[in-house]
Chains A and B, each alone.
Chain A
Amino acid sequence: MSLLRVNNLRVVFETPYGQVKAVDGVSFEIERGEVVGLVGESGSGKSTLGLSIMKLLPPNARILSGQVIYNGVDLLRLKEDELRKIRGKEISMIFQDPMTTLNPTMRVGEHIAEALMYHYNMDKEEAWRIAKEVLESVGIPAERAMDYPHQMSGGMRQRVMIATAIALKPKLIIADEPTSALDVIVQDHILELLKDLRDRNKASIILITHDLSVTADIADRVLIMYAGRILEVGTVEHIYYHPHHPYTQGLLKSIPKLGSKSELYIIPGSPPDMTNPPSGCRFHPRCPYARGICMKEAPPLVKVEKGHLVACWLYIER
């Protein structure tokens, strides 16, 4: 049985301009110890997907249908206090912006100690001892545990965030753009930390990012998301060396390469307005291969080889 299985999840946001279909029928699963990269551009619904697994969506969001089955339990049906026991302890989250995810009036060690205290009923002393250990494991000296967040740099704060996320030894970590706000060298350290975490704790990681190179470095499998739907799923080899979907191909072509003389490729058009998404395949207005059927009907995800699925009419015999 896989650790997490998302079935046909549909999430909308109620806005004054209409319903935004942020996640529209997404299904996938994650095995224990697996790292899955969830790649998409801004507004593709990848962060919403991450938040709906934790059921931490903003009040104007509604889950229309679907299941999020973690260890055999549908999280979407759990009551708030049952969910609280899972959040942090079983599934934890690393957010994008390290400058705003730490409480400015709380010492960094306390963020960790607090969580240990309410999940394991630890006394204060022991919780702080473990908090310091965890901070050291991500490369922050124990004496900095008494610092306030403003006394630390962005990279250090992101390490603290990671320390908080791993302190309770969760089985699944949802990392929402954990490296986007950091410079490249710090990015590398953070990715190493995540890899280390997977190896040591056998944790599964969902890595949400818009950066294909980050996923290439760490992920076992990659999900390509566009306008609330998954367009292609495969191993890193599948996606990078044999991309099938025209969108994935476009994404790969638009990575700048050092020394290349040719002009950088840009996928034409812009991401769709999600209050009124395109009919049929959501990518058809920007797709060079679009045909009649692409405008009428959404293509299902079909297998092109073992473990490699694509949602595109080009690969479906009719």
Chain B
Amino acid sequence: MLMTDVLRHVWPKRRGIEHYMLLMGIVIVICLTIMALLAPIIAPYDPIKTYVGKPYTPPCTEHLFGTDRMGRDVFSRILWGARSALAVASLAVVIAAAIGIPLGLLSGYIGGPIDRILSLIMDSIYAFPSLIMALAVAAALNPGGATSITSAMINTSLAISVVYIPSYFRVVRATVLSVRENLYVKAAQALGADVLTILTKYVAPNSLAPAIPIISMNFADAILTASGLSFLGVGLPPYFPDWGVDLATGWRDLPNGAWWMSFFPGLMIFLATLAFMMIGDALNELLNPRRGMK
């Protein structure tokens, strides 16, 4: 009953542009997920294996997206790249939300000196240019390169997540400041509820809606930042199939006319970012309580 209510709210009879943005974003994300999941089955070649074809082969029927300077199949690398892109971005967003949201709740509800100190720390992270911040953290986590792919991915995610913690913190804290003044919070206190109950059952469920669009916005940004980090050499190792890595190695061959090596990874980054941006924007619009008043 509730589920259908939600569905009717998200997909009503009268729809605006934001409904179609949401649909398009979701379709692209589902395609990316399928790509990532089925990469081992649908990829025609091993993405890491060199000289599966002649180096610098332009797109043709054998190599849909061509081959790179070491004769690796670009199409296979793109498919496998969806895995690392989604894994790194989702891990980064989950870590950032898992730290930023509870801190924002606590800080906003308790107030006082704890709130002051936390806000100061968050604001100073926020004030720092994000890519430089991520770069610094990634460099600190990966001195001289990570030992394995898994740790490289985790470290990259961590580096990116640090940048996003303040955005969750700020949004949630600001909402809590107004939510905690609601009479139902006082009524809960009058019934003898403790701080933990009030935070988890009364304040949190009413404060999290503004954080949802941020999740998808950050997802988009995380894919870009992860590519940026790999591009700069502090993210994933160069042989690994990753859009950012491929873009970084591919662009050097642009002057030779080998556009396919950087075009396809770039296109994928663009599509993934666009999809998450569209979902974020649409949710932002659809979840706005003042919606429908204009």
Contacts and interface: CB of A to CB of B under 8 A. Distances in A.
Interface stretch (B25-33, B39-47, B166-174, B198-206): B198-206
B183 A87 contact: no
Interface stretch (A13-21, A100-108, A186-194, A221-229): A100-108
B184 A87 contact: no
A88 interface: yes
What's the interface size class on A, roughly?
20 to 34
Nearest to A167: B191
Nearest to A161: B187
Contact of B189 (A87, A97, A168): A87
What's the interface size class on B, roughly?
10 to 19
B183 A84 contact: no
A56 B190 contact: yes
Given A56-B186, A95-B186, A97-B183, A103 B201 contact: yes
A86 interface: yes
A100 B182 contact: yes
B186 to A, nearest CB: 6
A119 interface: yes
Nearest to A112: B191
Given A56-B186, A95-B187, A103 B206 contact: yes
A119 B183 contact: no
Contacts of B193: 84, 88, 114-115, 118
Contacts of A88: 190-193
Query: Counting chain A CB atoms within 10 Å of each CB, which of B186, B190, B202, B205 scores highest?
Result: B190
A164 interface: yes
Contacts of B187: 93, 95, 101-102, 161, 164
Interface in A66-100: 81, 84-89, 92-93, 95, 97, 100
Contacts of B182: 100
A102 B183 CA distance: 8
Contacts of A114: 191, 193, 197, 201
A54 interface: yes
Query: Counting chain B CB atoms within 10 Å of each CB, which of A81, A114, A119 scores highest?
Result: A114
A86 B202 contact: no
B188 interface: yes
A100 B183 contact: yes
Contact of A87 (B111, B191, B197, B205): B191
Nearest to A59: B111
A315 B115 CA distance: 55
Interface in B50-82: none
Contacts of A106: 201-202, 205
A115 B191 contact: yes
A93 B190 contact: yes
Contact of B206 (A86, A97, A104, A119): A104
Interface string B149-192: 00000000000000000000000000000000011101111111
A59 B181 CA distance: 11
Contacts of A85: 192
Contact of B183 (A59, A101, A105): A101
Given A103-B202, A104-B206, A118 B194 contact: yes
Given A104-B206, A114-B201, A87 B186 contact: no
A118 B187 CA distance: 15
Closest 3 pairs (CB-CB, A-B): A88-B192, A88-B191, A105-B205
27 contacts: A54-B190, A59-B111, A84-B193, A84-B194, A87-B189, A87-B190, A87-B191, A87-B192, A88-B193, A89-B192, A92-B190, A93-B187, A95-B183, A95-B187, A95-B190, A100-B183, A101-B183, A101-B187, A102-B187, A103-B184, A103-B188, A103-B202, A103-B205, A103-B206, A118-B192, A118-B193, A164-B187
